């Protein structure tokens, strides 16, 4: 049975120190390149995730401002290509991250 404090709520066990994970370092050392690459893909996927709504906002705000229909089509096309590139980058970085993390696991 868990210990209870004076208010009747069960006390949480003391948190262990993160230093206890240092025993994993010898096992991780041979894979440090893949771990670093997975970290890089994580950062790039996060950046692409944050850039996607910005690219969509630019598509809506700046792609539809031209008064001439031909200019508007070219503006939407140009901004859509940037949005597509951000989406493709997000897919590639996420796939790379998933592949590396699955391999490491």
Q: What are the sequence ranges of the domains in the chain?
A: 32-104
Task: Return phi, psi of residue 65, to 5°.
Answer: -90, -20
For residues 52 and 79, is the Cβ–Cβ distance under 8 A? Answer: no
Q: Is the dihedral of CA 18, 24, 25, 29 positive or negative?
A: negative
More confident residue, 94 or 104: 94
Rounded Cα distance between 7 and 47, Å, is 46
Closest Cα partner for 56 from 78, 82, 77, 75? Answer: 82
- Per residue in 11-37, pLDDT (tens digit) is 777 777 777 778 888 888 899 999 999
Q: Write down the pTM of the prediction.
A: 0.70
């Amino acid at each position: 049975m868990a210990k209870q404090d004076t208010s009747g709520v069960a006390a949480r066990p003391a948190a262990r120190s993160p230093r206890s994970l240092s025993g994993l370092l010898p096992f991780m050392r041979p894979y440090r390149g893949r771990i670093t690459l997975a970290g890089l893909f994580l950062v790039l996927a996060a950046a692409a995730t944050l850039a996607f709504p910005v690219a969509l906002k630019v598509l809506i705000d700046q792609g539809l401002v031209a008064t001439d229909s031909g200019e508007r089509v070219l503006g939407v096309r140009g901004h859509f290509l940037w949005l597509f590139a951000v989406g493709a980058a997000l897919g590639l970085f996420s796939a790379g991250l998933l592949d590396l993390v699955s391999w490491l696991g």
